Structure 1
């Protein structure tokens, strides 16, 4: 109604001011008349709609900045890059643990308080169960055909059922166990080969990211490499290009693109995001689509009948009429989403944890001692050992807390007006839980910038989880729209971490700065410089030899 009054005033004023014969006095009279009409119309609407003082609406959360008309704080957003660091700097002046900033007509709600976070994603989970419509998610999901990134609705319900019932269930996780073990063994082979051929220098980021790319490739396509790979077990050009594209897409998902808040500007690509996303997706599709198309054809013509991987599972799913449940586009989009959801979190946590441990070697020694005590030195750590590796998991939790992969969680969108923590949250608001704001909050963490795994140990003998139910930090998101791959993500994180700690000693290269520089990159939360360390085998030689016999 307010917009209607404004539009009426603007259009009428435009008509009148085009008449050249109009006098200035008449012009002022017209302005005054329409101003009075607009205000009268506004207050009449407020009265009829219940705004008569009998019910008082809660206030919005504190504003980080006073917004401009129409565009909100988009001008400031464009000037202050990277946007997430600018927002976090503004949040330092807020004592409420919740604040609001407006981009276009969208209220963006930023939260750094665990208790308030729980009110959003636990107490009122259903109200915040949707996702934003954005350029990046639209193109990544082929028009919202997937699960994690799509708005709440029938398509999300369909794909969630597929994901939880067929692809990421506990039964399916057990079925895929051997594929995960193959990639854990290959990780050890790769690093062991670097110990002998590269003087022990290991780029931990490359090793971690490629392991985290190999696991979903093996699960989805039953292959480690798109090309020939390398004899030492490392990635070839194709795998490096593929993983680079994955991380590019991740960098531009929900990256505060102008057209996400002013949709009519989409296509102009004012900030260049669309071009970058299109290029990265083209690389992924170059490797994925030929495999998917060929496999679909093999199932159609009867050449393939055995289910060997998750792609086969998706293709072979049938409804009550024996028709495919998933279309080719749904399969392609969901595979892309699984790929981008799997690679970043474990690899980033392990790289940061090892960097912190190199500066505090007593922590690394304690973790390795736990593995020796639980597993011994005559065999490699396996998933069945994870229950008893609480200190290793505490180190991983501490990495998730102090060094999250992203500044915010995937945005939640309110599907209705509501009140949270005594603040009014309008329908359509984008809710951002600050991963750094939660994990580094001095009100909830003692010495928050110090890497201290012991803070996560309860001493009750209960197996430690990587998730944090009270949202004091975010490893894997929670609630209706929480991460559906927690079991897989936990397995990958702990296996990557435990194998690197069990199989090798790690030291800072003699020519490198000591201690390790723990500065963050400017544009993301990665370690500014990829971690390079010296690895040396720490197990009996026959343990490694067994890996080369397979």
Structure 2
């Protein structure tokens, strides 16, 4: 199949002409249709294709959208990409309307080539449409996989990997000089992948373990495929809005997502198939030891397996993807901000020394008392979200937002960036100030500072029907990794560097360059456990 690149303007013009010609005949009737009410304010668009041309010519699109909204001085805007209305929101009040008041009416998900491929035809919880099947999957996630009982049972796995990660860093920096540069992103991804593997598959490795405590070759390939696939879900692509162009790779993305999904399947599928075989055979597996066991063992009312093979592999890929970006991104940005603000780093270390000390390693049970470290994490979620927008919510029916008409099928994008940088919500929004969360009533619960945000003044794990099912474990993993790295090591700017460059990437909002910092052990040598594989 021929690949068409839209990076060439003349090529794009031809493709755009073709699209316009086809759509002119295919959806001519749409010209005469008028909305039933006033749409949110938006930019002028071309006939039929709307703002599709501006979307393609203004990359990255999320910056263009926010720039347009700022110029228009609006907190809700409507862009039309071909036949799809895309409504963007930067107001906490309207965000609450999206995720609370109109939650059920806006509970669907948008379709795309990438989401269809990785979810095996929308058989997962993240991308499947709202309905009976989705409700059943959500119930399984919340009452089985992410229940307090299950999370307590798997505490040992998470603690083991928290031990492994500080020993991995210890192994990286103890040889040679007193300090050594360490790639923080590599460390964070290693931890996230290892925890996810333990909890989902009950094993850390697919094949041979690495001697230094890091990931083996197959795990690195698996992680790299997951990491690359993340961009595919949050991108503004022509095919997201013109379905009949899917499969032609005109965005240059479809070939990559096919490759990444193939790699993930080659790693995951043999484990899933072997485990299903064990559960099916008499005398095989009888006890649930990990998330995969739970998914396989569940039965419907007739005593038949609740999930098919494709549904299980789709759920596993959901967990693969969901367990990587937030924790990695938050810890990397937080350490970068701390290195640029030594006084913040010192306060975090002092809190750890006061609450935990140096004679034992920080545990999940210490997290409620680590309020300053949680405040630092919250501030990084506010200033440096992993992506500019939340995943799209799609209108299941005609409705309204902030008094404006929202047609059925519209995509609503709540802006993580817009909420975090909104001066109506935050004093000095461009400043990194963890202290702002310590006495903020919206940032606290009965145990102290929290990473939950039901009031939608920023986005961490969202809220409503489509809220991330793994909020508790996501919060625990983030704070545990950050606290262990701060407790176990002294962090400093790399030699010859006076400041970390805080520049986000263009496709997502991860740091454009992985953070590299100088590290040396802070605890006695016996405090770093042996690697357990």
The TM-score normalised by the length of structure 2 is 0.90
Matches of 2:462 and 2:117, distance apart in 1 = 23
Instruction: Find runs of 4+ consecutive structure 1 residues off by over 3 angstroms.
Output: 459-462, 546-550
Task: Specify the alignment match of 1:111 in structure 2.
Answer: 89
- CA deviations 1:516-544 (Å, max 9, x no partner) are 11112233211121111111111233222
Deviation at 1:162, TM superposition (A): 1.5
- CA deviations 1:123-144 (Å, max 9, x no partner) are 2111111111221111111011
Task: Specify the alignment match of 2:507 in structure 1.
Answer: 523
Question: Is the contact between residue 117 and residue 471 of structure 1 (CA under 8 Å) also seen in structure 2?
Answer: yes
Task: Specify the alignment match of 2:10 in structure 1.
Answer: none
Deviation at 1:113, TM superposition (A): 1.0
- CA deviations 1:55-114 (Å, max 9, x no partner) are xx5411101x21222222112222222222222222221322110100111110011111
Task: Specify the alignment match of 1:422 in structure 2.
Answer: 403
**235, 242, 259: which is aligned to 2:222?**
242
1:304 aligns with 2:282: no
Equivalence map 1:8-19=2 (5 Å): none
**353, 367, 373: which is aligned to 2:348?**
367
Deviation at 1:388, TM superposition (A): 0.6
1:98 aligns with 2:76: yes
Question: Is the contact between residue 61 and residue 98 of structure 1 (CA under 8 Å) also seen in structure 2?
Answer: yes
Matches of 2:274 and 2:525, distance apart in 1 = 42
Matches of 2:238 and 2:452, distance apart in 1 = 33
Matches of 1:198 and 1:228, distance apart in 2 = 27
Consecutive unaligned residues of structure 1, counting only runs of 5 or more, are: 1-9, 15-37, 52-56
Equivalence map 1:36-75=2 (5 Å): 58-63=37-42, 65-75=43-53
SS in 1 for 2:174: helix
Matches of 2:203 and 2:519, distance apart in 1 = 27
Task: Specify the alignment match of 1:26 in structure 2.
Answer: none
Deviation at 1:498, TM superposition (A): 0.5
Equivalence map 1:416-455=2 (5 Å): 416-455=397-436
Matches of 1:400 and 1:548, distance apart in 2 = 31
Equivalence map 1:17-28=2 (5 Å): none
Task: Specify the alignment match of 2:462 in structure 1.
Answer: 477
1:283 aligns with 2:267: no
Matches of 1:222 and 1:213, distance apart in 2 = 12
Deviation at 1:295, TM superposition (A): 1.1
1:493 aligns with 2:478: yes
Matches of 1:337 and 1:121, distance apart in 2 = 21
1:131 aligns with 2:109: yes
Q: Which has the higher mean CA deviation after the structures are superposed, 319-328 or 136-145?
A: 319-328
Task: Specify the alignment match of 2:369 in structure 1.
Answer: 388
Deviation at 1:307, TM superposition (A): 2.0
Question: Is the contact between residue 412 and residue 432 of structure 1 (CA under 8 Å) also seen in structure 2?
Answer: yes
Matches of 2:345 and 2:123, distance apart in 1 = 43
Equivalence map 1:534-545=2 (5 Å): 534-544=518-528
- CA deviations 1:265-299 (Å, max 9, x no partner) are 11222112211110010110110001111111122
Deviation at 1:462, TM superposition (A): 4.4
Equivalence map 1:33-432=2 (5 Å): 58-63=37-42, 65-197=43-175, 199=177, 200-302=180-282, 303-432=284-413
Deviation at 1:415, TM superposition (A): 1.1
Q: Which has the higher mean CA deviation after the structures are superposed, 351-360 or 120-129?
A: 120-129
Q: Which has the higher contact order (CA 8 A, sep 6+)?
A: 2
Task: Specify the alignment match of 1:6 in structure 2.
Answer: none
Residues 109, 516 of structure 1: CA spacing in aligned structure 2 closer, same or farther, 3 A cutoff? same
Consecutive unaligned residues of structure 2, counting only runs of 5 or more, are: 1-23
Matches of 1:508 and 1:315, distance apart in 2 = 48
Matches of 1:452 and 1:504, distance apart in 2 = 23
- CA deviations 1:351-374 (Å, max 9, x no partner) are 000000001111011011111111
Residues 526, 105 of structure 1: CA spacing in aligned structure 2 closer, same or farther, 3 A cutoff? same
Matches of 1:502 and 1:230, distance apart in 2 = 25
- CA deviations 1:322-360 (Å, max 9, x no partner) are 211111111100000011011110110000000000011
SS in 1 for 2:405: strand
The TM-score normalised by the length of structure 1 is 0.87
Matches of 2:417 and 2:295, distance apart in 1 = 36
SS in 2 for 1:287: helix
SS in 1 for 2:400: strand
Q: Which has the larger radius of gyration?
A: 1
Question: Is the contact between residue 391 and residue 453 of structure 1 (CA under 8 Å) also seen in structure 2?
Answer: yes
Task: Specify the alignment match of 2:16 in structure 1.
Answer: none
Matches of 2:428 and 2:167, distance apart in 1 = 38
Question: Is the contact between residue 82 and residue 523 of structure 1 (CA under 8 Å) also seen in structure 2?
Answer: yes
Question: Is the contact between residue 259 and residue 265 of structure 1 (CA under 8 Å) also seen in structure 2?
Answer: yes
Deviation at 1:466, TM superposition (A): 0.6
